[in-house]
């Protein structure tokens, strides 16, 4: 008999604290809580919260500006270190999540276009 694959969409149990974090993510990214759940399953709840928080606090709109990915990556690492966030994300994870966050927050799929680091 062939084993059945688990359906990861069938049931996902989040703790009350997770629900609070999903609400915060949804607010920062300007998406529905269901959208926050979907993206949390893709990127990880803690990573998504970290990325949303970083972009909300450290990146600001700046028409005609372009932030280099190297500067963004360095700022993200420094920000994580300053908040004593131990598990680092890879640069590829940050890039993929950055595209999602920029699309949600600014309707712009280009990661570092028309933004700059906050002073």
The 10s digit of each residue's pLDDT in 85-109 is 887 788 888 888 888 887 777 676 5
Please give the average per-residue pLDDT across 69-73, as a whole number: 87
Q: What is the pLDDT of residue 108?
A: 62
Q: In the structure encoding, which two tokens stand for residue 41, read together?
A: 């399953």
Please give the average per-residue pLDDT across 51-75, as a whole number: 87
Q: Quick check: is 11 in a domain?
A: no
Q: Quick check: is 10 in a domain?
A: no
For residue 35, which of 117, 101, 118, 95 has the smallest C-alpha distance? 101
Contact 13, 3 (CB under 8 A): no
Q: What is the pTM of this model?
A: 0.76
Whether residue 7 is predicted with pLDDT greater than 70 in this model: the reply is: no
Q: Report which of residues 113 and 26 the model is more confident about.
A: 26
| Domain around 86 | 16-117
Structurally, the chain folds into a number of domains equal to 1
Q: Quick check: is 20 in a domain?
A: yes
15 pLDDT band, cuts 50/70/90, is confident
Contact 80, 28 (CB under 8 A): no
- Percent of the chain whose pLDDT exceeds 70: 86
Q: Quick check: is 4 in a domain?
A: no
Q: Quick check: is 86 in a domain?
A: yes
Q: What is the pLDDT of residue 109?
A: 56
Q: Quick check: is 24 in a domain?
A: yes
Contact 17, 25 (CB under 8 A): no
């Amino acid at each position: 008999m062939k084993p059945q694959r688990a359906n990861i969409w069938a049931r996902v149990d989040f703790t009350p604290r997770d629900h609070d974090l999903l609400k915060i993510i949804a607010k920062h990214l300007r998406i529905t809580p269901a959208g926050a759940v979907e993206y949390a399953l893709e990127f990880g709840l803690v990573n998504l919260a970290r990325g949303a928080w970083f972009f909300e606090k450290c990146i600001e709109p700046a028409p005609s500006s372009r932030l280099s990915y190297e500067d963004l990556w360095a700022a993200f690492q420094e920000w994580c270190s300053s908040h004593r966030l131990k598990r680092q994300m890879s640069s590829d994870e940050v890039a993929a999540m950055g595209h999602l966050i920029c699309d949600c927050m600014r309707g712009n799929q280009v990661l570092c276009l028309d933004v700059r680091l906050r002073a």
